[in-house]
Structure 1
């Protein structure tokens, strides 16, 4: 690599080939080139995840720090030596430049631009928000599904008010019901609505612009009318043929196997869903109607009728297939009928709440800013980038690339004041493109590498990174041979070339390593259980070989397979970190808190009571009996044993309830990450000002299947993740069970078919279901179907490639039964493994396990750096130093809010008074902190004087005794009680609790709990006072 590399460089980086090292080297080459100034201000590095951004930033900064500390040639890291060769400079100069650049970056960190593509787009949209008529403070929506559900619900709610919409929705529901499908149309509308956020469908949906319900209704009538016409003509033709057969005295047995008359009769009876795959149908014109072995057949009559039957048969074929196309299109048409209204409803919600889905970033920039000159965009951004780096380019969508091209072209094709051109470095691997469903476009990367897709006048120079630095030799050579051999199975020549030429990696490690392909035994009665058993067996072997669980990652293609694996491994006592174990809803403490919230919202619901009691049941008791005993008086149990007062808690915000519950039930001693996350989500649910319990529970129910914590660092816990989640990661050992996925599996596959607008009411594209029959619709549809099949093949191979290339030392694959039927064309991963082993001459129908290389000795997983446990902190009002004015202030005029605010303020003021001498300074302090309006000074001071000077209370505000205001008392069961005031004088104590609400039995229970706690402390209880404070004065109850 030289210092005058081409300005446009593309690196094909197969798995483990040092992609991040190359990116860092290229970036540092620009930083340390000796041009002076702050070159990082002119560099934009783009990748696709926040984690990748963090890794690249850390790699750059760590390298600069290490370079700056290099004092001798022996200390030089390999990257340092490479950069010396690139730049032709000596050690001292490079170290000095590194120190200077590192200091410049740290002092100007905001200009160190390593960013995700979405974050960069967000900057552009913020900058141009006024031009685009976006709200200045718009909020980015990451979960477009939740937004879509709201829009669908709102749209359905309009049924009955808008006649056209009502008719469409009712007709759609009836059609679904008639087809034996659920009449619930919400799911269909939501699925269609998702297309609005999917770049893969944007160009086709654009052709719907300006079309309303009436246009779609006309199209549906056209499609329905076409089906009816086909049906009528089919019945006419089949009636004619059957009449000819009967009129000529022919019987079914006169025809070859009776195929033809039976087929005609089926259609005449209304069974129009016929295929034409059978050999006799394909060759109908070339074969006689009778069997040559049938000597009794009236051959003369059949030969005479055959020419007429040929014409009618071909017309029947055309009609059946055309009707199938029309029916297919009609089925998909109904949800599109209201797509325009759905889009309008989404826009209304977005505008009303100042929302902008992240999925719309690319389309907005493309439509509104693509034609703006690059210098103008740079000027508005306040930056002028000259050098671009794009990582994981194979996952870049067409729209993302299109939006970047003008900016990059301006730098790449122009020169700055010093006559220097900008540069572009792309890094990627089309074999690892596994995100087509969200817009990733591997063909774009292939087009740039091979030439025709280059949008710039500057020629691209391609580089291969030939060495695999990740995996042991056996794994590298196995994958090279496996994927090169199987490339022949790909139907698209470009994809075949990709896998044929892209798997020639050289191993860096000479350690042998192991690859093991395991087949299930012949036709196991329970495949799922068989996969689980084999996985557990492999883990036992690895433990015997010295491997820690933390060295192992188990990969699955489907999340569902990961769920059953997690359950089985946990049942075996194997520690597991997985997406399921990281979900908040699956953690016992979180599940208990959610049950508790539901109990506060719905006290009569026995299911939530049962969940609460199951969690709280003490050790050493018979659980079911204990639950049965307390099921009817759960609220009383919570008051007496844990001082959790449900009636009071139900009025508080969700966040406060959760925090109080965590404290009272002592949940903060463990599971901090899950509890912190739950509290974070409680704040998130309340971000628009509604902090109520009901709002949070609605939020939880809609999000609970996605809310999780980040995976913790654990030295000896097995990782269980999907292949998509594991992309970019590596593990000493990888186990890949359930490796029997269908190559052509696709959820609800669709195709967009171009049609004549003149025939189809002005529509130029129709969407149809992608299925085998589409090949028969016509040449164009067949070509589209085959193209889509080719893409599915590539996606399946890419997923398999990613799974195979995560392992460092050992790869275990568990695939389907070895006795499954042999197929010429592979349809499942099992077929690929079987055909590869046959190619090697190793296949033996009696062998279930095939090994390559050998398993080494496991090494202990490095312990993570020790960290002090983070104590769970509470932000309760008695310790709060920061006071935030929220939108709830708008509600203070309501009686409930006024009462709550008054009670809270009075409690706070009393907690600040130890003796009567503290009274004069309390109210001024509260006014100074903004907690009490100056106009309320007089009434509040008057109330406080009445309390402190009350004849029954004044002795407890004198100097001398020990005073504890709002101080916690920890009981033996670790429950914390917090009386408002505890006065201790010698060995005796007085408990005082203030209330501003109406008297209630729960208040007496609460004070009695305080009294019991004081007795447990060894103090003699002198008095327990319940002080009610109201506009009518002060009332004191002695308990």
Structure 2
């Protein structure tokens, strides 16, 4: 029997691994311990030696959450085995350690300590293990839990009744939506009463605010179907019992009458306290006494009265005056207690009845979906399918015992696996683990060598929406799911050293996430649950370069930096937050960071898009998942547009997209990059092009047009790359072109051999249900922008974390233990059961938000900047309320609120020194988007010249202001709305360093009606447009600051300062107009001078 660091017999070990604490290292170490221990016990040689090695290698199952994590763990295992194996070829015993890398030294020491195996035997065994992995790679079981479930389903597909040709798929969106449409059509025709009842319920709850009620019902069915996959839910339990509701009401009504008659009787009434038993309350009770049948309108009015809260029973509430005889008090409180009890029961039944129509409809939908003919098994359904079969087998236990046989799956699993390693256990689906736990339990009951390691961090549980259940990471849950396990062999460990972040970041997180601080930001009713979730949040710093007892800032050494800045002036102002992000990047660059040291993490994908767009406008290159998507590449989009045109030639839009795009014009000499040549032409436009530009048609389009419908997409793409020299002309898009070719080739293997079939796939890609992206480039100097969810497991030298509030969903329908409930806060006042359901969900929503924030707070290695925008609310109350957003969770934390410094509408919190450490490599950006020479000069002046504005002459201040205004205007395009125009001007003003007064003057100037018309509307424009003039036998180049091309006129605009003669300025504009009048003979010409230092407008005739 293998011994593991003092563990003997079947054991379970749970490790809570906080951020940066070496979770992957521990998993790698555990795997190496097991495999080396197993291999070292093998007898060499033997007749079954090779087969035994196969069994030993295959007996360890490591389960990860993502493919990326599985690949990383495999890589870590193989790399460390290689480093250990090298020692076999070097000096023996301890002298060989000198040749090891630091990681391997640590691994080697830990392996010796944990296994008790001598060094020489470890390195010899490592060589043997490494060779076995290469020869028996299919038995190297490091895989995702989804792929594990798929392999189990495949092994028992006959027992599950699956079609012999079944397939597995990830995305079922299209089939589920189509099935839902068919289901609702069937219900409309055959069971209209059920559908009508559901509609009325949704209307009364305010869930329907659109005419498209069918889409509301469809989205609700799909939403709760997805949620139901996380739990053991039987649809037949969802049927509401109307008779139970009526019975509850009769009992409640009787209690009301008794209580009302008692408190209004002449003998009792004088003793009641009128401020606690108001006349309005008595009137509401009287109305209930008059009614004989259940009526929601009669019952709901009393919910708001504190008199009928179930909490009164617990708190000894009284509604009598102090001089009331004790006997009267006792009788009255007894009647009140009975009334509250019957009301609580009634409200519970009301909560179920309110959504009974939807419950019935949902149960029918689930049954119809589950009984459909299945040719495809979806990944998120696998655990439920397997779990259902296991429940059936459990019922047949007696039969199996009588027949002296066990289900085949139990035999196969218990024979194959001995050790189970789970990564990111806090995000493991509860249903998936319930499907696996019987197998693990069987292994534990049949082998003394079995073991299980669960590594995770409840603070980083951010996938509850996918079924993740962090409660599995507790001793009670694990023992419940694996009943044969001996509880005396359960071990727990907390990894509390952070090897990722510098001192100030670790110290900041220790204070922010301290249970007493983080629970203070939540309602008191759930504070204990919040505190428990973060009880293991405190960490030691494993990267600190300072000695114990020294000041963190000793000798100016990099010790980390944390800064929170924000504004309380505007509520959720996205534009202001974008400006703060730009300023944060500039601050980091000045401190020595390069762009690729910096990551901006946000909550939603739409925020990623907004930030990428904004940073592009101010000249900062970025990389994000969105920018790596195939659909983000314009060259790929032009190819798809060309394919759509070939599939349907009258499609003028896609034809124009391709003909006026970069691909065609790179080949055709930029002759067709202006779509105006097609304006007013007879449609379809391709016929006009074929007739009037026959040479171009024949050379570039004809062969594709003739082969349309004959060539599969991959062959078409290969011909296209050759004809248009895509790789030569667009080398910057090579990764996208290669990936696009790979996708087409893979789809062809799957039977996608037509354009129309490809368009279906591309549609899914655009919707996000299928993702095709290039690998993240390792070169290039770009700011990383991504979501907090996708940043999990990653680390960056500097992190910018913009914070704002997000509106929480107005959720009133809850799914619990196979039943739907309609719950509002008023319902929770009178029902203890509903209050617990509501409280648990609110607590989970808070924990979800806080866990996501924890993940984001712990990604930084050196510097963490947190810009925030939103108005903080008042202090928390005791009532249960949904979280208002990440801003509130940060701002209301006592550690932050007690240490911020406020100036006007700005506040800040700072810890440490902003100084680049050793983890990044400072460098000048490889691609600088230089706005202009004058802008570059201004940056040089700002960096190297020191002066005060009070010492500068007013003329120079005006010239400087005019230069900045000139630069801002020169970067403006055409905007759809005045608001977008104004916001862009503000962003650029912040970038160019205008103070508040200067920005106010600028806005007053550029928002004048006439100037707005130069930038807002529907027209073409050119900035810095070169004009050619032939004069005295030579060509002269002129440059106008801006040209606006309208349907009936041309507007020439030049930006000036007042230093030169105004007449000279007018002469220059007239010269531009003289050139243009020969080009645009049918248009009116007008000219304007904008004096950016004086804020004046001059018309030029």
TM-score with structure 2 setting the length: 0.65
Task: Mark the CA change 1:621 to 1:230 in structure 2 (over 3 Å): closer, same or farther.
Answer: farther
Partner of 1:35: 41
- Out of 445, 456, 463, the position equivalent to 1:435 is 463
Map Cα deviations across residues 865-907 of structure 1 (whole Å, 9 max, x no partner). xxxxxxxxxxxxxxxxxxxxxxxxxxxxxxxxxxxxxxxxxxx
Counterpart CA distance in 2 for 1:225 and 1:863 is: 74
Q: Is the 8 A contact 2:65 2:423 kept in 1?
A: yes
* Distance (whole Å) between structure 1 residues aligned to residue 166 and residue 858 of structure 2: 42
Give the structure 2 partner of residue 402 of structure 1. 434
The 10-residue stretch of structure 1 (715-724 or 321-330) with the greater mean CA deviation from structure 2: 321-330
CA distance in 2, matches of 1:181, 1:14: 44
**Residue of 545, 562, 578 corresponding to 2:624:** 578
Query: Which residue pairs with 1:939 in the alignment?
Result: none
The answer to whether the 8 Å contact 2:564/2:868 transfers is yes
**CA displacement 1:400-447 (0-9 Å, x = unmatched):** 2233333333443444xxxx5222222111111111122211112134
Please, which runs of 5 or more residues in structure 2 have no aligned partner? 43-48, 91-95, 266-274, 289-294, 322-331, 395-404, 546-556, 691-696, 924-1101
Quote the Cα distance in structure 2 between the aligned partners of 1:392 and 1:667.
43
Q: Judge conservation of contact 2:24–2:73 (CA < 8 Å) in 1.
A: yes
1:69 is paired with a residue whose SS is helix
CA, structure 1 residues 274+553, in 2 after alignment: closer, same or farther (shift >3 Å)? farther
Deviates more, 1:692-701 or 1:463-472: 692-701
Q: Extract unaligned runs of 5+ from structure 1.
A: 245-253, 290-308, 755-764, 865-1039
Q: Distance in 2 between matches of 1:517 and 1:768?
A: 44
- Which shifted more, 99-108 or 529-538? 99-108
Residue 20 (structure 1) aligned to one of 17, 24, 44: 24
Call closer, same or farther: CA 1:410–1:822 in 2, change over 3 Å.
closer
Aligned to 1:628: 679
Distance 1:696 1:777, change over 3 A: farther
Task: Report what 2:418 is aligned to.
Answer: 386
Cα distance in 2 for residues equivalent to 1:332 and 1:201:
21
Alignment correspondent of 1:59:
76
Q: Distance in 2 between matches of 1:792 and 1:507?
A: 32
* CA shift for structure 1 position 326: 7.0
Is residue 347–residue 831 contact of structure 2 (8 Å, CA) maintained in 1? no
Deviation at 1:287, TM superposition (A): 8.0
- The residue aligned with 1:483 is 513
Counterpart-to-counterpart distance in 2, 1:56 and 1:340: 42
- State the superposition RMSD in angstroms: 4.7
Residue 52 of structure 1 deviates from its aligned partner by 0.8
Tell me how far apart the structure 1 counterparts of residues 567 and 472 of structure 2 sit (CA, whole Å). 42
Measured in 2, the distance between the counterparts of 1:579 and 1:684 equals: 22
Change (3 A) 1:191 1:264: same
* Per-residue deviation, 1:311: 14
SS of 1:45's partner is strand
1:736 aligns with 2:789: no
Aligned to 1:751: 814
Residue 811 of structure 1: SS of its match in structure 2? strand
Structure 1 distance, partners of 2:220, 2:705, is: 42
Q: Within 1, Cα distance between the matches of 2:441 and 2:296?
A: 64
Instruction: Indicate how the Cα distance of structure 1 residues 169 and 649 shifts in structure 2: closer, same or farther if over 3 A, else same.
Output: farther
The equivalent residue for 1:10 is: 14
On the 8 A contact 1:449/1:462 being kept in 2, the answer is no
Q: 1:186 Cα deviation (Å)?
A: 3.8
Instruction: Report SS of the residue matched to 1:704.
Output: helix
The CA deviation at 1:378 is: 6.0
For 2:674 and 2:276, the matched residues in 1 are separated by: 75
Distance 2:641 2:539 in 1: 56
> What's 1:989 paired with?
none
- Identify the residue that residue 123 of structure 1 maps to in structure 2: 151
Query: Is the Cα contact below 8 Å between 2:902 and 2:908 reproduced in 1?
Result: no
How many Å separate the matches in 1 of 2:304 and 2:573? 32
Q: CA deviation at 1:853?
A: 0.9
SS at match of 1:470: coil
1:25 and 1:703 map into 2 onto residues whose CA distance is 39
Q: Deviations over 1:28-74 (max 9, x none)?
A: 12222321252323211111111111111111111111111133221
Q: Quick one: distance in 2 between partners of 1:452 and 1:378?
A: 19
Stretch deviating more after TM superposition (496-505 or 53-62) = 496-505
Match of 2:858 in 1: 805
Q: Which moved more, 1:449-458 or 1:380-389?
A: 449-458
**C-alpha distance in 1 between matches for 2:429 and 2:296:** 49
The answer as to whether partners of 1:10 and 1:449 remain within 8 angstroms in 2 is no
Rounded Cα–Cα distance in structure 1 between residues aligned with 2:659 and 2:363 = 50
The answer on whether the counterparts of 1:329 and 1:766 sit within 8 Å (CA) in structure 2 is yes
Separation of aligned partners in 2, 1:531 and 1:780: 42
Contact 2:645 2:654 in 1 (8 A): yes
Whole-Å separation in 2 of the counterparts to 1:814 and 1:316: 52
**1:22 alignment partner, SS class:** helix
Match of 2:973 in 1: none
Deviation digits for residues 476-515 of structure 1 (CA, Å, limit 9, x no counterpart) = 1111121114244362635423423432434333265434
* Distance of 1:630 and 1:97 partners within structure 2: 78
- Give CA deviations for 1:773-810 in whole Å, capped at 9, x if unaligned: 33134111112111222222222221111111111111
Contact 1:44 1:385 in 2 (8 A): yes
For 1:222 and 1:185, locate their aligned partners in 2 and report how far apart those are by CA, in whole Å: 30
Return closer, same or farther for 1:200/1:155 CA change in 2, 3 Å cut-off. Answer: closer
For the 8 Å contact 2:66–2:144, the answer to whether it is kept is: yes
Structure 1 residues 483, 176: CA separation in 2 closer, same or farther (over 3 Å shift)? closer
CA distance in 2, matches of 1:314, 1:101: 70
**2:792 corresponds to:** 727
The question of whether the paired residues in 1 share the 8 Å contact of 2:60 and 2:419 is answered with yes
- Compute the displacement of 1:702 (Å): 3.8
In the alignment, which residue of structure 2 is the partner of 1:457?
A: 486
The DSSP-based 3-state class of the residue aligned with 2:863 is: strand
Name the counterpart of 1:696: 758
TM-score for both structures, normalised by structure 1? 0.68
CA distance in structure 1 between the partners assigned to 2:646 and 2:335 by the alignment: 73
Judging changes above 3 Å, is the alpha-carbon distance between structure 1 residues 411 and 158 closer, same or farther for their aligned structure 2 residues?
A: closer
The answer for the alignment partner of 2:234 in structure 1 is 205
Asked if 1:377 is matched to 2:409, the reply is: yes
Structure 1 counterpart of 2:778, from 705, 714, 733? 714
1:99 aligns with 2:127: yes
Higher mean alpha-carbon deviation, 848-857 vs 87-96, is at 87-96
Once the two structures are TM-superposed, the CA of residue 855 in structure 1 deviates from its matched residue by: 1.8
Range with greater deviation from structure 2 (169-178 or 608-617): 169-178
- SS of residue in 1 equivalent to 2:15: strand
Task: State the alpha-carbon separation in 1 of the partners of residues 587 and 303 from structure 2.
Answer: 53
Assess if the C-alpha contact under 8 Å between 2:598 and 2:784 holds in 1: yes
Partner residue in 1 for 2:825? 772
Corresponding residue SS for 1:155: helix
| Cα shift at 1:356 | 0.5
Q: Distance in 1 between matches of 2:735 and 2:458?
A: 37
In 2 relative to 1, CA 336–98 (structure 1 residues): closer, same or farther, beyond 3 Å? same
Q: How does 1:25-174 map to 2 (within 5 A)?
A: 25-33=29-37, 34-36=40-42, 38=53, 39-70=56-87, 71=90, 72-76=96-100, 77-78=104-105, 79-158=107-186, 162-164=189-191, 166-169=192-195, 172=198
Q: CA deviation at 1:175?
A: 6.8
Partners of 1:423 and 1:311 in 2: how far apart?
56
1:710 is displaced (CA, Å) by: 4.4
1:843 aligns with 2:900: yes
Note closer, same or farther for the CA distance 1:494–1:269 as it changes in structure 2 (3 Å cut).
Answer: closer
Q: What is the DSSP-based 3-state SS (H/G/I as helix, E as strand, rest coil) of the residue aligned with 1:425?
A: strand
Q: Which moved more, 1:695-704 or 1:538-547?
A: 695-704
Deviation of residue 849 (structure 1)? Answer: 1.6
CA shift for structure 1 position 114: 1.0
Shift of 1:152: 1.1
Distance 1:629 1:646 in 2: 26
Task: Provide the rounded CA distance (Å) in 2 between the counterparts of 1:810 and 1:390.
Answer: 32
Partner of 2:643: 597
Corresponding residue for 1:992?
none
From 830, 844, 855, the equivalent of 2:914 is 855
Structure 1 residues 766 and 88: alpha-carbon distance in aligned structure 2, compared to 1, 3 A threshold: closer
The aligned residue for residue 788 of structure 1 is 841
1:833 aligns with 2:854: no
Change over 3 Å in CA distance of 1:681–1:768 after alignment to 2: farther
CA drift of 1:766 comes to 3.7
Counterpart position of 1:471: 501
